[in-house]
Structure formats: structure tokens, C-alpha cells
Amino acid sequence: FSPCIFQYALDNTKQLSVTHLCGIILSFARLNFQPSGSEDFFNM
């Protein structure tokens, strides 16, 4: 589940609203999910 959303967020960063991106990041934090491509993720 989480890796799919992570990849979706990376692929669609420009189309997602700030609120949507914040929701995704908060969801990852609640799950203590650490993406394997963290460099790409945190540079969104």
C-alpha cells in the first residue's frame, strides 16, 4: 500500500495540492513509513 502511494506522490507532485501532499506525508509519519527513495521524496 505505502510504496504505491509513495510512487504516486513522486510521479504527480506538480498536480497535487499542498494540502494533499501534506496529508500523504502525515499518513507516512503515522505509519512510520520510510521510503526507500527518501532523497527523491524529501526533495518534492
Spatial contact of 3 and 41, defined as CB atoms under 8 Å apart? no
pLDDT at res. 8: 86
Of 8, 2, 9, 4, give the one whose Cα is nearest residue 31: 2
Cell numbers placing 15: 498536480
CB atoms within 10 A of CB 6: 20
Q: Which residues contact 42 (CB under 8 A, 6 or more apart)?
A: none
pTM of the model: 0.58
pLDDT at res. 1: 57
* Domains in the chain: boundaries: 2-42
pLDDT in tens, 1-44: 567 887 888 898 889 999 998 898 888 788 887 766 666 666 66
CA 43, 26, 19, 35 torsion: positive or negative? positive
